[in-house]
Structure 1
Amino acid sequence: MRPGPWKKAVHQSCPEAEFGEPVHPDRVADAEQRLGCRLPSQLADLLRETDGIVGHDGVDTVWTLGRIVEDNLRFWSDSGFAALYMPFQPFLFFGDNGGGDQFAFVRTPPRADIFVWEHEDDSRRWVAGDLRDYLGRSLADGDDDWYRHRT
């Protein structure tokens, strides 16, 4: 079976990346219903090709669909988080750096840009123009803190 466009793009930056099985479109639709929003089209397309991407050092560069749903529902509803952090409802988290920082699309208003939430100080800032840009940047050199070194 030939790799799809997302796997090809990932392998260009990280040949050792690991992939999950493709997600059936019905599971994507079920996830969107549970979340109460549509997944960004790039993310839905990627998940239909692979259920998550594990990059350098076992980092969950893109989470599985199940984790995307569960973590976002928790982030949006956990009263403990609400007491500690700015609201998470504008974001759809989908990956992390292995050290606690999380990557997200903006849900409100919908946009293709990727932001990082840095858990130590609750900051949120732009790191990539879209999912393809994020994958290229995050997998390029094996540095899990790649987004902190941007100029």
Structure 2
Amino acid sequence: MWKDLIRELYEDAEFGPEASGTEIDQVEGRLGQAVPNELRELLRHTNGVQAEWGSGLVWSVEEIIDQNTQFRRDAEFAELYMPFDQLMFFGDNGGGDQFAYVRLPSRHNTGVYVWDHETDDRKWVAGSLTDYLQRRAAAEGDSWYK
């Protein structure tokens, strides 16, 4: 289902190999947050998707761990930005802005958010991973979420 949807939306989509449940569980172990079910399902079909001239439509398990760890531990980021602990970044626009889930123990944190690297704004942009993929594909240019 995921690959079919992505192929339909993105002509240049490049898929990674399937991620195992053990690999996906490493995200939870390293970040201390549950991986959203829809992201877990996508990663089981493809461990990351590149599209739109190489931007990280959905990162691999390794990149999710690496990027989130870097953002949370970087001393300079801690001085410049609000904390990133409640976010789980999973993709980017190729120009510095990142897409994330908010991982709070709340019913009100559904959907996909964007973090703007210039303003530190964090705003809702899509109701689900499917919605994110569709909105991103339908937009002209890389600022569809602004």
Same fold (TM over 0.5): yes
Q: Deviation at 1:77? A: 2.0
1:88 counterpart residue number: 84
1:123 counterpart residue number: 121
Q: Deviations over 1:78-127 (max 9, x none)?
A: 22111000111111000000000000000013533111001011111110
Q: How many pairs does the alignment contain?
A: 144
1:71 aligns to 2:60 (yes or no): no
Q: Deviation at 1:138? A: 1.2
Match of 2:43 among 11, 32, 47: 47
* One-letter identity of the residue aligned with 1:52: G
Unpaired segments of 5 or more residues in structure 2? Answer: none
| TM-score normalised by L of structure 2 | 0.92
Superposition pairs for residues 1-150 of structure 1, below 5 Å?
5-109=1-105, 111-141=109-139, 143-148=141-146
Say whether the 8 Å CA contact 2:9–2:137 is kept in structure 1: yes
Q: Deviations over 1:46-82 (max 9, x none)?
A: 0010011111111111111101001111212222111
* One-letter identity of the residue aligned with 1:102: Q
Q: Percent identity?
A: 45
Indicate the SS of the match to 1:146. Answer: coil
* One-letter identity of the residue aligned with 2:83: P
Question: Aligned equivalents of 2:48 and 2:26: distance in 1?
Answer: 17
Moved more, 47-56 or 28-37: 28-37
| TM-score normalised by L of structure 1 | 0.89
Indicate the SS of the match to 1:132. Answer: helix
Say whether the 8 Å CA contact 1:55–1:139 is kept in structure 2: no
Question: Aligned equivalents of 2:80 and 2:39: distance in 1?
Answer: 28
Say whether the 8 Å CA contact 1:14–1:140 is kept in structure 2: no
Moved more, 100-109 or 139-148: 139-148
